Amino acid sequence: MMQTDFKVISLSYKNAPVAIREIIALDEQSIKSILARISEVLPLQDTLVLSTCNRTEVYYTANQDFSQEIIKLIGLNKGIDNVLQYEAYFDKLNAIDAVRYLFRVSMGLEAQVVGDMQISNQVKRAYQWSADANLAGPFLHRLMHTIFFTSKRVAQETAFRDGAASVSYAASELVHTLAENIVDAKVLVLGLGEIGQEVCKHMAESHLEVSICNRTQDKADAIGGELGLKTIPFGEIDQALAEYDVIISSVATNTPFINKDRMSHIDVQGYKFFMDLSVPRSVAPEVADIAGVSVYNVDEITLKASKTVEKRKASIPQVEQIIDEALTDFNTWARDMEVSPTIKKLKNALEQIRQEELAKHLKNATNEEQALADKLSKGITQKIMKLPVLQLKAACKRGEAETLIDVLNDLFDLEKQSVEK
Active site residues: 53
Task: List C-alpha distances in Å: 214 to 172, 190, 244, 255.
Answer: 18, 6, 15, 17
Write out the H or E segment, with its range, that includes residue 28: helix 28-41
Omega into 280 within 30° of 0, i.e. cis? yes
279 burial level (CB within 10 Å; 0-12, 13-18, 19+): buried
Q: What whole-number distance in Å separates Cα of residue 210 and Cα of residue 198?
A: 14
Q: What whole-number distance in Å separates Cα of residue 342 and Cα of residue 143?
A: 22
Strands ordered across the beta sheet of 246-249: 230-231, 209-213, 186-190, 246-249, 272-276, 293-296
Task: List C-alpha distances in Å: 210 to 185, 195, 205, 268.
Answer: 9, 16, 10, 19
The alpha carbon of 242 is separated from its chain's Cα centroid by a whole number of angstroms, namely 38
Q: Which residues of 149-178 are buried (b: 16+ CB within 10 A; e: fewer)?
A: ebbebbeeebbbbeebbbbbbbbbbbbbeb
* Residue 86 three-state SS: helix
* Residue 260 three-state SS: helix
First-last CA distance in the chain: 23
